């Protein structure tokens, strides 16, 4: 069955980007957040992003207008009762996600699929909070979702073939390339990426080189668009630390132990671009995070 109505919980950069993809793809989408100001910011961000695609002739003016008309914002999870697929894009916390999935399981119609945009947390454990583990799946988008071409689909222990097929078709409807990971800590991309970022922090921590040289070396030597420390700031140092902790706990190997410098930066509130300072300074005062969903 084709997805006609979709819910997205969490209106941060990931959630708003996923909602934009759904709206452009012709799906009626409900974007949910507990913070009204976050929803207002998300609506503005989606409108601006859609207009950029229109200005580049990647989307017609009429299609952009129709997409915005399909977007609805709410603070009430109950509005998701008719959604065919619900994607959560809240803070990277297993407890928070389980609590949300428990509530969504109560609200969503029996046939609805519950998907998580988690970048590292076990889908099997998230599914255990519901009465429909066969309809729970990981749908990991990459930042920013409207631009990045990959969606990493993660099957939990009980995820059905039908759920996988429907979610794969949905991702392809968004114009994405799809890869499938089994439910291991960090999945595929972050299993490889986060240890690289962590090692860059160790190189900085141990005085191997200045941060600029570490990033320049990886950009010019490996043809990466961003160096690992720049990328960590872009992702959010708190998110990087959380994923490293998941890898360390789930795989039990000391090589995944978070670098003390990464821990120190997070303890100091140096979370990266979203706070105005991380490894690098972005010329503005750090702003408090108003909603967990905006992390």
Residue 59 and residue 50 in contact, taking contact as beta carbons nearer than 8 Å: yes
C-alpha 241/C-alpha 247 separation (Å) is: 10
Residue 119 annotated as binding? yes
Residue among 119, 120, 122, 181 flagged as catalytic: 119
Residue 69 among the catalytic residues: no
Residue 49 annotated as binding? yes
Residue 152 among the catalytic residues: yes
Residue among 16, 116, 120, 140 flagged as catalytic: 140
C-alpha 104/C-alpha 81 separation (Å) is: 9
Residue 13 annotated as binding? yes
**CB-count burial class (<10 Å; 0-12, 13-18, 19+) for 20:** buried
Residue 291 annotated as binding? no
Residue 238 annotated as binding? no
Residue 65 annotated as binding? no
Residue 198 among the catalytic residues: no
Residue 169 and residue 113 in contact, taking contact as beta carbons nearer than 8 Å: no
Residue 12 annotated as binding? yes
Residue among 16, 152, 230, 291 flagged as catalytic: 152
Name the residue with tokens 């160096």. Answer: 227
Residue 269 annotated as binding? no
Q: How many residues are present in the chain? A: 295
Residue among 16, 120, 190, 198 flagged as catalytic: 190
C-alpha 164/C-alpha 137 separation (Å) is: 7
Residue 111 annotated as binding? no
Residue 160 annotated as binding? no
C-alpha 264/C-alpha 255 separation (Å) is: 18
Residue 272 annotated as binding? no
Q: In this structure, what token pair is assigned to residue 25?
A: 């793809």
C-alpha 49/C-alpha 26 separation (Å) is: 16
C-alpha 143/C-alpha 150 separation (Å) is: 10
Residue 2 among the catalytic residues: no
Residue 128 annotated as binding? no
C-alpha 272/C-alpha 262 separation (Å) is: 11
**Binding site for CoA: which residues?**
49, 56, 119
Residues marked as binding?
Answer: 10-15, 33, 49, 56, 92, 97, 119, 143, 274
Question: Which residues contribute to the annotated binding site for NAD(+)?
Answer: 10-15, 33, 92, 97, 119, 143, 274
Catalytic positions = 119, 140, 152, 190
């Amino acid at each position: 069955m084709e997805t006609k109505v979709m819910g997205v919980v969490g209106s941060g950069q990931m959630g708003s980007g996923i909602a934009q993809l759904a709206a452009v793809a012709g799906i009626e989408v409900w974007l949910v957040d507990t913070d009204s100001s976050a929803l207002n910011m998300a609506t503005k961000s989606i409108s601006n992003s859609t207009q950029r695609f229109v200005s580049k002739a990647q989307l017609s003016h009429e299609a952009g207008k129709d997409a915005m008309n399909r977007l609805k914002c709410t603070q009430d999870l109950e509005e998701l009762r008719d959604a065919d697929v619900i994607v959560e894009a809240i803070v990277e916390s297993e407890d928070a996600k389980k609590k949300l999935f428990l509530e969504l399981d109560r609200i969503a119609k029996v046939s609805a699929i519950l998907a998580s945009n988690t970048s590292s947390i076990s889908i099997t454990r998230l599914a255990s909070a519901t009465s429909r583990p066969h309809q729970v799946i990981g749908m990991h988008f990459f930042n920013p979702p409207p631009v990045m071409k990959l969606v990493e689909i993660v099957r939990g222990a009980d995820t059905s073939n039908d759920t996988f097929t429907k979610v794969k078709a949905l991702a392809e409807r968004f114009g994405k390339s799809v890869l499938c990971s089994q439910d291991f800590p960090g999945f595929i991309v972050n299993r490889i990426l986060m240890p690289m970022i962590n090692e860059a922090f160790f190189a900085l921590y141990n005085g191997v080189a200045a941060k600029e040289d570490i990033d320049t070396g990886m950009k010019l030597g490996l043809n990466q668009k961003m160096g690992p420390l720049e990328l960590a700031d872009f992702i959010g140092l708190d998110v990087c630390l959380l994923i490293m902790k998941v890898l360390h706990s789930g795989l039990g190997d000391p090589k995944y132990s978070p670098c003390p410098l990464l821990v120190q930066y997070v303890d100091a509130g140096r979370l990266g671009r979203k706070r105005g300072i991380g490894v690098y300074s972005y010329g503005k005062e750090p702003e408090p995070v108003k909603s967990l969903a905006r992390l």
